[in-house]
Amino acid sequence: MTKYSSNRLTEKWTPTLDQAFGTRGTKGREGEEFLARVFDSWGWEYKLNVSDRQAQLEGRDIEFRKPSWKRFYSTDVKNNMNSHGTFYVYADWLFKVKCDRIFHVNPETGWITFYPVDKMRQAYDTTKPYMTFTTRDRLPFMKSSRNKDEKSN
């Protein structure tokens, strides 16, 4: 099977992550849906950008806003946290996304960690292709939370 840019399975735009990326796309969609449920539980407004091609290409999976905030923020959702709370930040996507925040999630455990993209870009060790963090072992500007829903234990 031919792989295209960003590990896409097809050159054409597809309406779902599952069609574009196969198993990886399904995992990404599940992460986005989980974060939408978390935002619901927090009482935040949000908009999933599933069918917005430009937003998806720029890494703006969801736009969200706490009711007391004046504006919406955008996030790239990374469903790359393991069951022990370890997650990875990769230089290749960190420095090209056009969103405000990144949320790392694990829908099975309910853990999330999030941070401002600009702060991570400043702190990132550019001599490495990726950096490893955990929900406990993280930089001061990162925030972690555990959110229970119907899927998490």
- Give pLDDT tens digits along the chain (153 positions): 433 345 544 455 555 555 555 555 567 789 999 999 999 999 999 999 887 888 877 889 999 999 999 999 999 999 999 999 999 999 999 999 999 999 999 999 999 999 999 999 999 999 999 999 999 999 999 999 998 754 544
Burial class (CB in 10 A: 0-12, 13-18, 19+), 10: middle
* 107 touches 30 (CB < 8 A): yes
pTM, full prediction = 0.81
pLDDT digits (tens, 9 = 90+) for 13-30: 555 555 555 555 567 789
Convert 110-130 to b/e letters by CB count within 10 Å (16 or more is b). bbbbbbebeebeeebeeeeee
